[in-house]
């Protein structure tokens, strides 16, 4: 039996490739963690500065007291405001009282549609919590808040007013509030594709009739004829859609709103509206 001579360790594999240095790897991991902590600390201490302010009256709900809040920016003078706003949550748990604030702010800014989405579907399952905070809020104009109720199984949505006579949707005097979950996004697109495939197989629909316009109209009908989102607000440094409506967000602007949901304020909200108003979309032909 031939014994292979001992080879001293040189930090390389037998094929000549350098072996990974565990100490260097751990050091880089530690540096990355420290930089992340420092960056989060700096963002939490950073305060937005506004050079111009005008007074737009709205009300902010507090649990035991009522006071009048003002949006510190000329919202009424913006060149455009989003027609459909989506508040997008990532891994953090939802705070329903804070989410209710976005409805009041949107009502003051004359945004017609507001949707809430998280990738676990928690907000949609517990949407009654948001409605409860809205009902209990000592705020005027709650009769102009319309809840979008969707039937199960990907059916169309039905707008229902909040214990008040039905208001005209799209007049600029109401805000339609909806709740989204993953089944409304990728899963809904897959279900619709299967449904169309079955219709073609049964010859209820011709393959030549399947088009982008058909998919778009059916997806919009499944969401209650709500227009595609114009603006999506997310929290933190990671910009991820988390599966939000992949078909409808092709022209959506994604803007960060603070580090955490609990730190969001009407100032940050208006700052995002200003950034959105400055966005220019150039569509190819």
Q: Where are the domains of the chain?
A: 77-149+173-182+226-278
Q: What gap in Å lies between CA 154 and CA 196, rounded to an integer? A: 14
Does residue 117 carry a pLDDT above 50? yes
Q: What gap in Å lies between CA 235 and CA 209, rounded to an integer? A: 41
Q: Are the C-beta atoms of 257 and 268 separated by less than 8 Å?
A: yes
CA-nearest of 61, 145, 158 to 111 is 145
Q: For residue range 47-99, what is the model confidence (pLDDT) as tens digits?
A: 443 333 333 444 443 433 343 344 544 566 788 899 999 999 988 899 999 99
What is the structure's pLDDT at 164? 42
What's the rounded mean pLDDT across residues 167-187?
76
Q: Are strands 57-61 and 66-70 parallel, antiparallel or unpaired?
A: antiparallel
139 to each of 35, 104, 135, 253, how far by Cα in Å? 43, 8, 9, 30
Does residue 30 carry a pLDDT above 90? no
**To 10 degrees, what angle do helices 266-278 and 96-108 make?**
50
Does residue 184 carry a pLDDT above 70? yes
Q: For residue range 37-50, what is the model confidence (pLDDT) as tens digits?
A: 887 676 556 544 33
Tokens for 41, please give them.
Answer: 């600390």
**Which residue carries 């510190």 as its tokens?**
72
H or E element, residue 61:
strand 57-61
Could you tell me which CATH class the domain 77-149+173-182+226-278 is placed in?
A: alpha beta
3-class SS of residue 116 = strand
Please give the distance of CA 158 from its chain centroid, rounded to a whole number.
21
Least confident residue range of 151-155, 200-204, 232-236 = 151-155
pLDDT bin (cut points 50, 70, 90) of residue 18 is low
Task: State the DSSP code for 18.
Answer: B
What is the structure's pLDDT at 150? 62
What is the structure's pLDDT at 113? 96
Q: What gap in Å lies between CA 267 and CA 139, rounded to an integer? A: 19
What is the structure's pLDDT at 134? 94
Mean pLDDT across the chain: 77
């Amino acid at each position: 039996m031939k014994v292979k001579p001992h080879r001293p360790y040189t930090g390389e594999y037998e094929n000549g490739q350098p072996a990974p240095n565990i100490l260097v790897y751990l050091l880089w991991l530690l540096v990355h963690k420290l930089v992340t902590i420092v960056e989060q600390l700096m963002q939490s201490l950073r305060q937005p500065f506004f050079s111009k302010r005008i007074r737009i009256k709205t009300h902010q709900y507090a649990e035991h007291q009522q006071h009048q809040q003002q949006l510190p920016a000329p919202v009424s003078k913006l060149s455009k405001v989003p027609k459909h706003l989506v508040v997008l949550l990532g891994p953090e748990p939802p705070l329903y009282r804070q989410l209710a604030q976005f409805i009041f702010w949107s009502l003051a800014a004359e945004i017609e549609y507001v949707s809430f989405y998280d990738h676990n579907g928690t907000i949609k399952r517990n949407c009654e919590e948001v409605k409860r905070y809205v009902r209990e809020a000592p705020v005027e104009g709650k009769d102009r808040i319309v809840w979008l109720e969707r039937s199960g199984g990907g059916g169309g949505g039905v707008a229902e007013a909040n214990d008040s006579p039905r208001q005209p949707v799209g007049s600029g005097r109401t805000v339609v509030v909806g709740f989204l979950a993953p089944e409304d996004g990728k899963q809904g697109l897959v279900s619709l594709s299967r449904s169309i495939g079955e219709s073609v197989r049964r010859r209820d629909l011709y393959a030549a009739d399947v088009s982008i316009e058909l998919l778009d109209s059916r997806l919009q009908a499944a969401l209650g004829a709500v227009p595609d989102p114009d603006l999506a607000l997310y929290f933190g440094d990671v910009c991820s859609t988390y599966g939000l409506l992949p078909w409808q967000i092709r022209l959506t602007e994604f803007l960060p709103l603070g580090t955490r949901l609990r730190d969001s304020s009407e100032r940050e909200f208006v700052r995002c509206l200003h950034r959105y108003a400055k966005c220019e979309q150039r569509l190819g032909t």
